[in-house]
Amino acid sequence: MSRTFTSQQAKRERVPLLVGLIGASGSGKTYSALRLATGMQRVTGGTIFYIDTEARRALHYADDFDFNHVPFDPPFSPLDYLEAIEYCVAQKASIVIVDSLSHEHEGPGGVLEMHDQFLDEKAGTDWDKRQKLNFAAWIKPKGQRQRLINTMLQLGVNLICCFRAKEKMKLQTGAQPKELGWMPIAGAEFLYEMTATCLLYPRSDGTPTWNPTLPGERQMAKLPKQFIDAFKEEQLSEDIGEKLAQWAAGDEKPPSEDEMVAAVHEATAAKSVDELQTIGATHGSRAWTPAHRLEIKRAINARKKTIEKESQP
């Protein structure tokens, strides 16, 4: 059976952002994440949802920012994270902050614990057997992690992921350990998928370091050329978040408020369900903000119910 492919002229359209904030305690991750999300909200509309694994720490800033708080307690398996994120999306989140994603790696129920639990169950204290089963012990946790990542890439919302960092060193035979610098407590798979990653040193007050000298840190700081102008400000801010969201919105100019009102009127005046489906397809392809999309969808659903009720004998 052969597959059918299509092509069209490439243009930048609405794409989701995945921004990583990597930093030690006191580097400003939580506050910076909320500032970036608030700036993104200026463009996307909708609601900010904050998934909080850090003992409700985000609530310290409840008076400064407008967001929905989602407490997230153990276990911290990849599929638990996936459920939390999908819950936010189901609640019409336009931006989701995950603070911190490091618990997926080393927290209770996380990937490392899942790996060790498999070995404990299959090999106990038989260290030769544990070594032989080491690869097999990674199959389940790594598979769950990949499922989490793949789903995050498909959700269509902007994600800001915070990662704890710690100083790491590489052991070398016959030589002094090699200093790698501040590196995230997380699987490398996450960092690969981030649109941009900001490295925040301790007490940096939310100011990223883009040109670190240590080898591990150089791998972590990720600033694609399309975002260089957005990050010209030193400290992460609402304005930077807004610029990122404007780029992600694509080249298509968002419809005006008058056009949105006209779209709602068009839905409420539809004569049939088929006409509503056409209206939904037409406006679904436009660069509406999530709030406008929701308003149009509600108008379509309300009119559909009326039409179905009127058609009943």
**Domain map (residue ranges) of the chain:** 18-248, 257-311
Peptide bond into 311 cis (omega under 30): no
Whole-number pLDDT of residue 287: 62
Whole-number pLDDT of residue 15: 80
Instruction: Show the low-confidence residues of the chain (pLDDT under 50).
Output: none
Q: Is 3 helix (H, G, I), strand (E, B) or coil?
A: coil
d(C-alpha 256, C-alpha 250), whole Å: 16
d(C-alpha 8, C-alpha 127), whole Å: 57
| Residue 199 · residue 208 · CB < 8 Å | yes
Q: Which two tokens stand for residue 99?
A: 């603070």
Whole-number pLDDT of residue 252: 59
C-beta pairs of 137-143 under 8 Å, 24+ apart in sequence: 140/114, 141/77, 141/78, 141/111, 141/112, 141/114, 141/115, 142/111
- Cα torsion 115, 116, 122, 125: sign: positive
Q: How distant is the alpha carbon of residue 227 from its chain centre?
A: 17
Whole-number pLDDT of residue 271: 87
Whole-number pLDDT of residue 156: 84
pTM of this prediction exceeds 0.85: no
Whole-number pLDDT of residue 290: 60
d(C-alpha 27, C-alpha 21), whole Å: 10
Print burial letters for 102-139: b (CB count within 10 Å at least 16), e (below 16): bbbbebebbbebbbeebbeeebeeeeeebeebeeebee
Would you mind telling me the total number of residues written for the chain in this entry? 313
From the CB of residue 157, how many other CB atoms can be counted at a distance below 10 Å?
Answer: 21
d(C-alpha 212, C-alpha 227), whole Å: 18
Whole-number pLDDT of residue 253: 63
- Helix and strand totals (H; E) in the chain: 13, 7
Going by the DSSP 8-state scheme, the letter that residue 9 receives in this structure is -
Q: Indicate the CATH number of 18-248 among 3.40.50, 3.30.70, 1.10.10, 3.20.14.
A: 3.40.50
C-beta pairs of 218-224 under 8 Å, 24+ apart in sequence: 219/191, 220/22, 220/182, 220/183, 220/184, 220/191, 221/197, 222/20, 222/191, 222/194, 222/196, 222/197, 223/196, 224/195, 224/196
Q: Is 238 helix (H, G, I), strand (E, B) or coil?
A: helix
- Cα torsion 174, 175, 177, 181: sign: negative
